[in-house]
Amino acid sequence: MIRFVLGRIGFYALVAVVLAFFTLPLLWLVTAPFTADPTYEVRVPLPGGGRGDGGTAAFTWDNFRAVLEHPYALPSLYNSVLLSAGTAALVVLLAALAAYALSRVRLPGRDALLYVLLLLSSIITGTAAIVPLFQLAVELDLIDSRLGLVLILTGGLLPAAIFMLKDFMDSTPKSYEESARVFGASPLQIVRHVVVPLVRPGLATIAVWAVANVWGNFLMPYLLLSDVEKQPAAVITYTLYTEGGQANLRLLSTFGLLYSVPVVLMYLFVSKKYGFRFHGGIKR
């Protein structure tokens, strides 16, 4: 009995520590945009607050007005949507086809190929390949092209997406496909009507993962888009950070919040509708 009680206490203490660790950094993001003249300090925005008493600050919507008036803030969010939706769609489609084929048909050198590509992608998507990617984009006339950026980002995300989806596909039962085949369905029909519904949570997870990746990607758009009207929110955030050598905390906190809300909503929607998980995990 005592062991049970101690176990419960230990459990809740650990959970409380975990919750505190993950909540603490987020407090600033949900308070600063609503406070007049925000600093790095977390203060609770209250109407009439901030009169010398510690911990509160005057509540205001002015910061949001300032962001709305900024010429590139809202358009950059639209650019982010275009880039991440385009990349996610392409990644999910191409990765699903490839992962299915690799999961069901034994191609020579399949596993070695997957690991080599995975290895390459984790390095090349970082800072290592910025020089050749820039030169390639110049040669192919893809500078300032959203499509070009989408293709480059897709190429970088595909190996990990295929890797994760293949494990997902490996763990789905094959009996449905076999019976569909007995009834005369073609392979493409089987993929569309049998396999896709089975792995939908996996596809949703990969889509969210791809969107979150592109949504936060700073380096590639910074490198490949010089037209400020095409730049996504990640690059615009950076310009707010360095404006006049000092961070503009009003714009930065408020724009940061607006920039974060779409990914959070997307995650909530997808996790409610499809479940956000690695079905059966990653094996081998």
Partner 1 sequence: MAQATSPPDAAPGEDARARRHSTDAAGLGRVRAALFTAPALALIAVFLVFPALWVLYLGLTTYRLTGADAAEPQFVGLDNFVEALWDPAFWDSTWLTVEFVLGSAVVGQVGLGFTIAWLLRDRRGPLKRLVEGLVILAWILPSAVVSFLWVALLDRDSGTLNALLGIPGFPWLLDHPMLSIVVFNTWRGTAFSMMLYGAALGNVPPSHLESARLAGATGWQQLRDVVFPHIKGHVLTNLLLISLWTFNDFTPFMLTAGGPDGRSEVLAVHVYKVAVQSGELGYGAALSTIILLINLVVAVFYLRLLRSKR
- Shortest CB 180 distance to partner 1, Å: 8
Interface with partner 1 includes 228 (CB under 8 A)?
no
Strand, helix or coil for residue 46: strand
DSSP output for 160-226: HHHHHHHHHHHTS-SHHHHHHHHTT--HHHHIIIIIHHHTHHHHHHHHHHHHHHHHH--HHHHHH--
Interface with partner 1 includes 76 (CB under 8 A)?
no
Q: Which is nearer to partner 1, 65 or 277 (CB)?
A: 277
Interface with partner 1 includes 284 (CB under 8 A)?
yes
- Shortest CB 182 distance to partner 1, Å: 10
Q: Which is nearer to partner 1, 60 or 214 (CB)?
A: 214
Kindly tell me which residue out of 36, 58, 81, 130 binds partner 1, with binding defined by CB under 8 A: 130
- Shortest CB 259 distance to partner 1, Å: 6
Contact range with partner 1 by CB under 8 A, out of 45-53, 59-67, 71-79, 114-122: 114-122
* Strand segments (E) across the chain: 44-46, 56-58
- C-alpha 40/C-alpha 24 separation (Å) is 13
Give bridge partners of residue 59 from the DSSP assignment: 35
Interface with partner 1 includes 145 (CB under 8 A)?
no
Taking each helix axis from N to C terminus, what angle separates 249-273 and 200-216, rounded to the nearest 10 degrees? Answer: 170
Kindly tell me which residue out of 58, 97, 196, 198 binds partner 1, with binding defined by CB under 8 A: 97
Interface with partner 1 includes 34 (CB under 8 A)?
no
- Within residues 236-275, the interface with partner 1 by CB under 8 A covers 237-238, 241, 247, 252, 256, 259-260, 263-264, 267
C-beta of residue 111 within 8 angstroms of C-beta of residue 102? no
- The type of residue at 41 is E
Interface with partner 1 includes 36 (CB under 8 A)?
no
Measured in whole angstroms, how far is the alpha carbon of residue 175 from the centre of its chain? 34
- Shortest CB 42 distance to partner 1, Å: 5
